[in-house]
């Protein structure tokens, strides 16, 4: 098979090819590395490529496959890792000029360690805004990451490099993080799948300064690959005291239940609180009609909450202030100006103000817990807009102040720690991808993946294959 064709395959398709001997991990690794190098000048998805390590791991994998002794579930599959998560042997700079690349860098994050144990091939580290603070990907360290469908537009963030890499075939799997939408936002803008698992399902270490808002999750071509990846990275790790215990079963094995009989609440605008662009609304509504056609009981209704943005800001800004607390005045001058601004706001919050935000968070969690006694799934647009101009935190002319102004469907479910995924359901008139969000009760990641898989199987989750970037 020509190398460039391998970049169009899912992880499961690659594994099938390794199993039959149609092609091997070394071919897959070379194809992914070649694609990564070709897309980098245009989209800027990578902080660094790890070519030498990737080819060595791929050669080891190929020997195992030839012996009929693959190592784990992902042996030989090319993967990328957001440069927020430590990966042994390589600096983790988090998009910041305040972090020195010097040092031993001798520890993997739990999710990276699980990938290593399962034989995955590391292609490189992907871009992030500084410390993952905002919903687009640009930073003083690495510059602007651009959209695969239109490089003049943003890839979204904060896992924008991972989203662009997966969308353009530089490895079918990527690890991202999500503190307010950072998996789902760029996945929606780039036309791929992403799951923010229930908090604690994927262990996180070192602990995030943003506390229990921050989740680690899969970014993939489809829901089936995400389920496979979650089976790998969802294993316990003693370094995360807040992690869940072992999963109740395989997420990949539970995909085929379909949606027949599921109670689905469709909230097109959170009770009119969100102004959704008409083409986004129409694409989401078509996909929801498809869920009903597959046998789900769909009711148009809204969850019982008002916009929790003030509580989110208090927790997020305080976390940002904690991130930079130990920086010198000289180092602070190197920060993204927007980050520096919210750090100042966070540092001025009192303990009582912070605890009031915690109270608001707990009340939101209670409301959503009761909501899911009536409904198995909540469906919303992932975002009310499609990708806007690259290098901007907010759409031009929107009058918004911060990235949270255009992400009202994502951050509430970081507050509640619920599983939430984005599924591509078409494009707008400019050919830019539209995402649909699926949300379930805490610990029901299986339902989110099952419903998303049903959309893919029915041909309801897709975007046109044409891409603006020649790869």
Contact 404, 338 (CB under 8 A): no
Residue 309 CB: number of other CB atoms within 10 A?
A: 17
- The angle that helices 337-347 and 309-323 make with each other, rounded to 10 degrees, is 100
Q: Please, where are the H alpha helices in 294-438?
A: 309-323, 329-332, 337-347, 351-374, 412-415
Q: Tell me if residue 82 is catalytic.
A: yes
Q: Tell me if residue 333 is catalytic.
A: no
Burial class (CB in 10 A: 0-12, 13-18, 19+), 250: middle
**Per-residue buried b or exposed e for 420-443, using 16+ beta carbons within 10 Å of the residue's own CB:** bbbbbbbbbeeebbbbbbbbbbbb
Given 96, 158, 159, 162, the catalytic residue: 158
Given 82, 125, 134, 196, the catalytic residue: 82
Contact 266, 377 (CB under 8 A): no
* Residue located via tokens 């993967």: 79
Residue 222 CB: number of other CB atoms within 10 A?
A: 22
Q: What is d(CA 107, CA 90) in angstroms, rounded to the nearest whole number?
A: 9
- The angle that helices 51-67 and 11-20 make with each other, rounded to 10 degrees, is 50
Burial class (CB in 10 A: 0-12, 13-18, 19+), 351: exposed
Given 111, 159, 162, 182, the catalytic residue: 182
- The conformation of residue 101, written as its DSSP 8-state character, comes to S
Nearest-5° angle of CA 11, CA 198, CA 136? 70
Which tokens belong to 404? 């949270």
Q: In the Cβ-directed half-sphere of 398, how many Cα atoms lie within 13 Å?
A: 20
Q: Tell me if residue 71 is catalytic.
A: no
Spatial neighbors of 349 by CB under 8 A, at least 6 apart, are 314, 317, 318, 321
Q: What is d(CA 123, CA 69) in angstroms, rounded to the nearest whole number?
A: 23
- Among all residues, which ones are annotated catalytic? 82, 158, 182
């Amino acid at each position: 098979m020509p190398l460039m064709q391998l970049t169009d395959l899912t992880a499961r398709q690659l594994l099938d090819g390794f199993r039959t001997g149609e092609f091997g991990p070394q071919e897959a690794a070379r194809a992914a590395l070649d694609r990564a190098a070709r897309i980098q000048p245009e989209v800027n998805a990578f902080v660094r490529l790890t070519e030498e390590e990737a080819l060595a791991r791929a050669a080891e994998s190929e020997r195992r496959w030839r012996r009929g002794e693959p190592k784990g579930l992902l042996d030989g599959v090319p993967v990328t890792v957001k440069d927020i998560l430590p990966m042994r042997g390589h600096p983790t700079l988090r998009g910041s000029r305040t972090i020195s690349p010097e040092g031993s860098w001798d520890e993997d994050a739990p999710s990276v360690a699980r990938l290593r144990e399962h034989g995955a091939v590391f292609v490189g580290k992907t871009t992030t805004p500084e410390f993952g603070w905002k919903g687009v990907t640009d930073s003083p360290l690495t510059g602007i990451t651009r959209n695969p469908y239109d490089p003049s537009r943003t890839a979204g963030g904060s896992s924008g490099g991972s989203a662009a890499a997966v969308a353009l075939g530089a490895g079918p799997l990527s690890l991202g993080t999500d503190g307010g939408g950072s998996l789902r936002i760029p996945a929606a803008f780039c036309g791929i799948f992403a799951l923010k698992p229930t908090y604690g399902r994927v262990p996180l270490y070192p602990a995030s300064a943003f506390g229990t808002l921050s989740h680690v999750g899969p970014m993939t071509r489809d829901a089936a690959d995400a389920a496979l990846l979650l089976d790998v990275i969802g294993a316990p790790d003693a370094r995360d005291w807040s992690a869940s215990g072992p999963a109740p079963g395989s997420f990949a094995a539970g995909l085929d239940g379909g949606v027949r009989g599921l109670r689905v609440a469709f909230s097109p605008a959170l009770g009119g609180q969100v102004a959704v662009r008409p083409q986004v609304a129409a694409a989401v509504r078509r996909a929801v009609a498809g869920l009903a056609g597959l046998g789900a009981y769909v009711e148009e209704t809204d969850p019982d909450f008002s916009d929790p943005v003030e509580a989110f800001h208090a927790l997020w800004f305080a976390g940002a202030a904690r991130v930079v607390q130990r920086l010198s005045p000289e180092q602070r001058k190197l920060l993204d100006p927007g980050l520096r601004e919210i750090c100042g706001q966070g540092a001025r919050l009192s303990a009582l103000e912070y605890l009031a935000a915690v109270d608001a968070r707990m009340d939101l969690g209670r409301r959503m817990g009761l909501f899911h006694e009536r409904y198995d799934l909540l469906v919303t647009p992932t975002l009310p807009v499609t990708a806007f101009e690259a290098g901007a935190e907010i759409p031009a002319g929107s009058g918004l102040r911060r990235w949270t102004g255009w992400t009202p469907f994502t951050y509430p479910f970081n507050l509640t720690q619920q599983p939430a995924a984005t599924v591509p359901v078409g494009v707008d008139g400019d050919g830019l991808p539209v995402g649909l969000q699926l949300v379930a009760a805490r610990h029901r990641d299986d339902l989110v993946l099952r419903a998303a898989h049903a959309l893919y199987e029915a041909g309801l989750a897709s975007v046109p294959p044409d891409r603006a970037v020649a790869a």
